[in-house]
């Protein structure tokens, strides 16, 4: 999920984590793809036309495809394919199957994918192994249909939540798509539905004045400073993300967005001196949230699968990310798939610490889940 270094190459990881440097506070640059592809079907849609107008106004290299298939993204090797795909935006229609929404516990009731793929370069990327093919960013032009389809999933007894960040960082591409703002406006008018998104970007200005009716929860993905710095290429700095979240949470009367907000602490890793680094992060969040607001937190520990490891090592062959199976516990899902998580003693220690430290600082901001 999150910016963008202008057509940046994948950052090469250093040999060790940089544990000593001071926090940086710069925002992300707007991601501008080297190429923007439009399929014929996408251009039949009003939103496809709007994205074409935006890309044209930005002076981007535009290609109008003759067919609805996206080809030509593969390079000579994995790294070349990665570079080409990560600098390409494809505007397409989401396929019919996208209207059958998938559950996405524990974060929300259902996925709502406004796009797939992400311009950032996180070396632990959640998308590795989840999306097939080159990691191109696909923005969906049939947006009104995708939004209206959520009504099928609403229920009478409680609001139903929709997560927009399962396969992309919607804020990271918002300047090119406008889809997040449109979704915020749409959900503002739905009493039975709630929208959630999370980002590693900080370009929140376009969201600040939107009517949201408290139906969208904006979250920032945060991590210990050395991990963010070393592993999250192309994203906004941690400080910029905190300040962007603060802006969205501030009351409208104080120039903010007045949104319900949240912190997604992810992926949590027991790096050397983790208590110190995560403690400093929590202190920074506490300092920024010196006013009453609707704040939640989610805790997600690092995990990987055999498939995601293979993809990540193709994308980031020099990564410093710990992907050794030996130090992990195996967790199986009901379909027989396995993932590697931290062992039980490590998980217990992390969980107890994070709950205690969060609740001490934010007694009125509920923990939504730990995983
Ligand atoms: Fe984008 Fe990083 Fe999230 Fe992957 S983990 S989708 S690169 S922000």
Give the per-residue pLDDT at 190.
98
Pocket test of ligand 1: the residue of 118, 130, 172 to mutate, having most ligand atoms within 8 Å of its CB, is 118
ipTM of the complex model: 0.99
CA of 165 to the centre of ligand 1 (A): 10
Q: 368: which 2 tokens? A: 């939504």
Q: How far apart are CA 239 and CA 202, in angstroms?
A: 10
pLDDT digits (tens, 9 = 90+) for 78-100: 889 999 999 999 999 999 999 99
CA of 283 to the centre of ligand 1 (A): 25
Task: Please indicate whether residue 127, judged by its CB atom, sits closer than 6 Å to ligand 1.
Answer: yes
Report whether the peptide linkage leading into residue 106 is cis, meaning its omega lies within 30 degrees of zero: yes
Mean pLDDT of the chain: 93
Task: Please indicate whether residue 1, judged by its CB atom, sits closer than 6 Å to ligand 1.
Answer: yes
* DSSP-H helix ranges across the chain: 40-43, 46-57, 78-86, 143-149, 174-177, 179-188, 205-208, 225-231, 238-249, 274-288, 306-315, 344-361
Give the per-residue pLDDT at 333.
86
pTM of structure = 0.92
- Residue closest via CA to ligand 1's atom 8 equals 1
Report whether the peptide linkage leading into residue 267 is cis, meaning its omega lies within 30 degrees of zero: yes
* Of the ranges 5-9, 18-22, 132-136, 198-202, the best mean pLDDT one: 198-202
Nearest to 110 by CA among 122, 101, 97: 101
CA of 117 to the centre of ligand 1 (A): 8
Q: Does residue 56 carry a pLDDT above 80? A: yes
**Do residues 269 and 322 make contact, with C-beta atoms less than 8 angstroms apart?**
yes
Q: Does residue 3 carry a pLDDT above 50? A: no
Task: Please indicate whether residue 125, judged by its CB atom, sits closer than 6 Å to ligand 1.
Answer: yes
Q: Does residue 172 carry a pLDDT above 60? A: yes
Shortest-distance atom of ligand 1 to CA 200: 8
């Amino acid at each position: 999920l999150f910016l963008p270094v202008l057509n940046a190459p994948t950052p090469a990881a250093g040999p060790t984590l940089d544990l000593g440097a001071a926090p940086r506070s710069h925002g992300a640059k707007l991601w501008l793809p080297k190429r923007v592809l439009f399929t014929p079907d996408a251009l039949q849609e009003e939103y496809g036309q709007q994205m074409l107008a935006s890309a044209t106004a930005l002076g981007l290299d535009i290609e109008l495809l003759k067919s609805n298939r996206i080809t030509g993204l593969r390079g000579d090797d994995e790294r070349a394919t990665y570079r080409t795909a990560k600098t390409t935006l494809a505007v397409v229609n989401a396929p019919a199957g996208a209207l059958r929404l998938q559950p996405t516990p524990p974060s929300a009731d259902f996925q709502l994918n406004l796009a797939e793929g992400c311009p950032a370069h996180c070396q632990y990327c959640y998308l590795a192994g989840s999306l097939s093919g080159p990691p191109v960013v696909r923005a969906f032009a049939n947006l009104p249909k995708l939004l209206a389809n959520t009504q099928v999933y609403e229920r009478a007894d409680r609001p139903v939540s929709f997560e927009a960040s399962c396969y992309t960082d919607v804020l990271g591409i918002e300047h090119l798509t406008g889809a997040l703002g449109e979704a915020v406006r749409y959900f503002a008018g739905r009493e039975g539905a709630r929208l959630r998104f999370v980002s590693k970007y900080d370009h929140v200005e376009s969201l600040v004045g939107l009517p949201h009716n408290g139906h969208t929860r904006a979250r920032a993905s945060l991590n210990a400073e050395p991990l963010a710095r070393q592993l999250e290429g192309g994203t906004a700095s941690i400080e910029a993300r905190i300040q962007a979240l603060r802006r969205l949470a501030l009351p409208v009367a104080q120039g903010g967005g007045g949104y319900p907000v949240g912190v997604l602490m992810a992926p949590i890793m027991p790096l050397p001196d983790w208590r110190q680094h995560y403690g400093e992060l929590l202190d920074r969040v506490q300092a920024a949230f010196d006013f009453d607001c609707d704040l939640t937190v989610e805790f997600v520990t690092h995990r990987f699968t055999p498939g995601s490891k293979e993809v990540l090592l193709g994308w980031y062959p020099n990564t410093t990310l710990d992907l050794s199976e030996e130090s992990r516990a195996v967790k199986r899902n009901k379909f027989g798939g396995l993932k590697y998580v931290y062992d039980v003693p490590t998980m217990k220690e992390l969980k107890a610490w994070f709950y205690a430290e969060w609740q001490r600082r934010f007694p009125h901001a509920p923990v939504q889940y730990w995983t």
